[in-house]
Amino acid sequence: MKSYYIYILKCADELLYTGFTNDISRRFDEHQLGRNKSCFTYKRRPVEIIFYQEFNDAEQAIYFEKKIKKWSASKKLALANNNFDMLQILSECRNFTHSKYKPTNEEVSTALDQT
C-alpha cells in the first residue's frame, strides 16, 4: 500500500514550512540539498523535520496539509511537540463575536442599567 506524508520543517531562520510527499526521505533530502532554487526552504537551510504524519490516502493527506498550512506557527509547533492542550487553546476562537464571548441579554441589561 502506498503511503503519503505531510510534514513540517523548521528552517534555519526559525520559519516553518509545511509540505506533502509520497517519499519523506527523498523530499527531505531535496529540501536539505537545495535541489530547487525557487523553493521556500532554499535560502533557509539547513532544515529539520519537526513533524510528519503518514496517511494511506492521498486526498486525506492533502486535506490535512491544506488545513495546517493556514495555522499559526505557534499552533504548528504545538502539534509538532505533541502539546495537545496548547493546540486546543490555540484553536479556540477568540473573536468578540464568537458565542463564547457574546454577552447574555441579562449582562447587556445590567450594563445599560448602570449607565
Q: What is the pLDDT of residue 112?
A: 62
Q: What is the pLDDT of residue 103?
A: 58
Residue 76's Cα: distance from chain center in Å? 4
pTM of the model: 0.80
Burial call 52-72: b when 16+ CB within 10 Å, e when fewer: beebeeeeebeebbeebeebe
Q: Which CATH number fits domain 4-113: 3.40.1440, 1.10.390, 1.10.12, 3.30.1490?
A: 3.40.1440
Residue 12 C-alpha cell reads as: 534555519
Q: What is the pLDDT of residue 111?
A: 61
The model's pLDDT over 74-113, given as tens digits with 9 standing for 90+, comes to 999 999 999 999 999 888 876 666 666 555 666 656 666 6
